[in-house]
Chain A
Amino acid sequence: MKDHDTLEHRLTQQGISRRSFLKFCTAMASLMALPPGTAPAIAAALAQAKRPSVIWLSFQECTGCTESLTRSHSPTLESLIFDMISLDYHHTLQAASGFAAEKSREDAMKDFYGKYLLLVDGSIPTKDNGIYSTIAGRTNLDLLQEAAKGAAAIVAVGSCAAFGGLPMAKPNPTGAAPVSDLIKDKPIINISGCPPIPSVITGVLAHYLTFGELPALDELGRPKAFYGETIHDRCYRRPFYDQGKFAKTFDDEGARNGWCLYELGCKGPTTHNACATTKWNGGAGFPIEAGHGCLGCSEPNFWDAGSFYTPLAAPTSNIGAIAGAAALAGAAAAVALSAADRAKKKSLQQTHEKLTVKDISN
């Protein structure tokens, strides 16, 4: 059984100085997107923090989210955070396998019933009784429902768990669904992104550990600290957008000058995520800095939102064809009704009656 004592105790045991701890808390504040002045408050809270049990279930996914997390470029920070939790089940990261692995999951679920944090990545196939993805002979749906029962809260990691993601994209052959469609009676945090920014995953975990409660969420269940603003709100190319200076191709003069990528399909204006400030690869940069527009990966249905390269202003369906068909139909109606009018007129003429405006179709 893992020990669940306070963090401060374990840190002093490891010989970590108070100054190091303060530095760690400063990094945490930055990670959690809190004002830098909150570091002392974090230090105070963390000193008391208990070590919760975490069960991580992976469903219909590509393991990209786990890859992202383990590639997060702050190993000391992450190892400290992992020090703070007790990861009792993660079938990619854990050493145990087979029956031993399933047993550790069952044990954790029993021992920490009502208290453990359930992390989920991947969407859940629901069609044909969920047979499209199974672990140890049990469907994902079954595993999720069982594990959700005793969870204090569920964290849906990645766009698949949060919004359905790629598996749910049209035509959704497996009937994939996000966690929030299947579990209604537990608090759910959606950490969307394909994959989510690693430090956002750890930042949300850190928040839960530090303050013992879920962070403030937006209407789609995403933590506001990271998803409160759009890529566009915080994009360093924004001044060019405001001036109407747009790159027209990926290698024209505008592109070389770092102009706005709106016309090349950037979905930054409608995408809520922290890429523009938190950045990727240990702060090296984010896609727009590399010259490519945002794909909108942290928003629902982004796979079905039209081409990644059509501007947001452009229609997502064929308007020309519809307009053509409508013009033909309009013309046909006009010709037909005019012919009817003429016929009416002729017959009236023959009977020497007068045609009035009222008689003409309108």
Chain B
Amino acid sequence: MNPQELLLWVRGTGLQLATAVCVLGMTYRLLHLALLGRKKNLAEARGSEWGPGLRTMWRRSFVLPELSARGKFTVVAGYTFHFGFFITLLFLSQHIAMLRAVLGFGWPALPHSAIEIAAILTLAAMIALLVHRYMDPVKRMLSGFEDYLTWLLTFLPLLSGFMLLHGIGPAYTQMLTLHLLSVELLLIAIPFTKLAHMLTTFSARWYNGAFAGYKGVKA
């Protein structure tokens, strides 16, 4: 297989496979969660579930609680990395060109200089979080192989994308191939790892809120 054929494969069949695994896995996981046979609640509640559920989704995502310095670092670095990741993912012109080809519509891109800053911040935040995870005794004890694996799988697309855009490392053809491969690995891993939290986190937050907002027994 020459480099061009390899690139064609990752742009075609490879991407199809990865998307299929990711979408199938995630639909299954979400729907299966929703359909878990919960008992019908026959009691009448005083509070409602929907309001508090949605409120908690919002609060846990956007309102920072009082935190210790250590906690603050985790939260700030964590948010930087999540936002930076989505800004580079959704607002780099090349990514929009790709999404337009898949979705049939696009949106305006951010200037490259803005993406640049986001990408560097994201990379830095991810490295800081990894170091912290390793240095902090509690975090280290709580971390297993999967935590490091998912970190790597998230880091690689960012790093390879950054290198591709700046012409660092191998030639464009090979670098683009590597970048796409790293994205495909990430897609495949999502349903099977903690990365699934990108969707389940919201339903989990809703349940937490709804649970607290519901006043009364369930019968």
Q: Tell me the A residues contacting B by CB distance below 8 Å.
A: 220, 230, 232-233, 242-244, 246, 262-263, 269-270, 299-302, 304-306, 310-320, 322-323, 325-327, 329-331, 333-335, 337-338, 341-342, 345, 360-361
Q: With A314-B98, A322-B20, A334-B32 as given contacts, are A299 and B4 in contact (CB-CB < 8 Å)?
A: yes
B11 close to A (CB within 8 Å): yes
B181 close to A (CB within 8 Å): no
Q: With A243-B112, A269-B176, A270-B172 as given contacts, are A333 and B37 in contact (CB-CB < 8 Å)?
A: no
B26 contacts across to A, CB distance below 8 A: 330
Kindly provide the distance from the CB of B174 to the nearest chain A CB, expressed in whole angstroms.
9
Q: With A232-B172, A242-B112, A301-B8 as given contacts, are A311 and B27 in contact (CB-CB < 8 Å)?
A: no
* Complex contact A326–B24 (CB within 8 A): yes
Q: Is the interface of B mostly helix, strand, loop or mixed?
A: helix
Which among B16, B31, B95, B113 is the interface contact of A319 at CB below 8 angstroms? B16
B25 contacts across to A, CB distance below 8 A: 330
* Complex contact B19–A323 (CB within 8 A): yes
* Complex contact A322–B94 (CB within 8 A): no
Q: Which residue of A lies closest to B164 (CB)?
A: A269
* Residues of chain B in range 1-29 having any CB-CB distance to chain A below 8 Å: 2, 4-5, 7-8, 11-13, 15-16, 19-29
Q: With A230-B172, A338-B37 as given contacts, are A319 and B4 in contact (CB-CB < 8 Å)?
A: no
Which among B23, B101, B171 is the interface contact of A330 at CB below 8 angstroms? B23
B36 close to A (CB within 8 Å): yes
Q: With A315-B102, A327-B23 as given contacts, are A333 and B28 in contact (CB-CB < 8 Å)?
A: yes
Bound state CA distance, A248 and B8, in angstroms?
Answer: 24
A270 contacts across to B, CB distance below 8 A: 4, 7, 172-173, 176
Q: Which residue of B lies closest to A310 (CB)?
A: B101
Q: With A319-B102, A329-B24 as given contacts, are A301 and B5 in contact (CB-CB < 8 Å)?
A: yes
Q: How many residues of B contact A (CB 8 A)?
A: 48
Which among B11, B16, B35, B115 is the interface contact of A306 at CB below 8 angstroms? B11
3 interchain residue pairs of minimum CB distance: A330-B27, A244-B112, A314-B101
Binary CB contact string for chain B from 48 to 72 against chain A (1 if under 8 A, 0 otherwise): 0000000000000000000000000
Q: With A270-B4, A316-B12 as given contacts, are A262 and B94 in contact (CB-CB < 8 Å)?
A: yes
Bound state CA distance, A345 and B35, in angstroms?
Answer: 13
* Complex contact A311–B101 (CB within 8 A): yes
Q: Which residue of A lies closest to B102 (CB)?
A: A319
* Complex contact B8–A337 (CB within 8 A): no
Bound state CA distance, A81 and B7, in angstroms?
Answer: 39
A361 contacts across to B, CB distance below 8 A: 32
B93 close to A (CB within 8 Å): yes
Kindly provide the distance from the CB of A339 to the nearest chain B CB, expressed in whole angstroms.
8
* Complex contact B13–A317 (CB within 8 A): yes
* Complex contact B101–A334 (CB within 8 A): no
* Complex contact A330–B28 (CB within 8 A): yes
* Complex contact A338–B93 (CB within 8 A): no
A331 contacts across to B, CB distance below 8 A: 27-28, 31
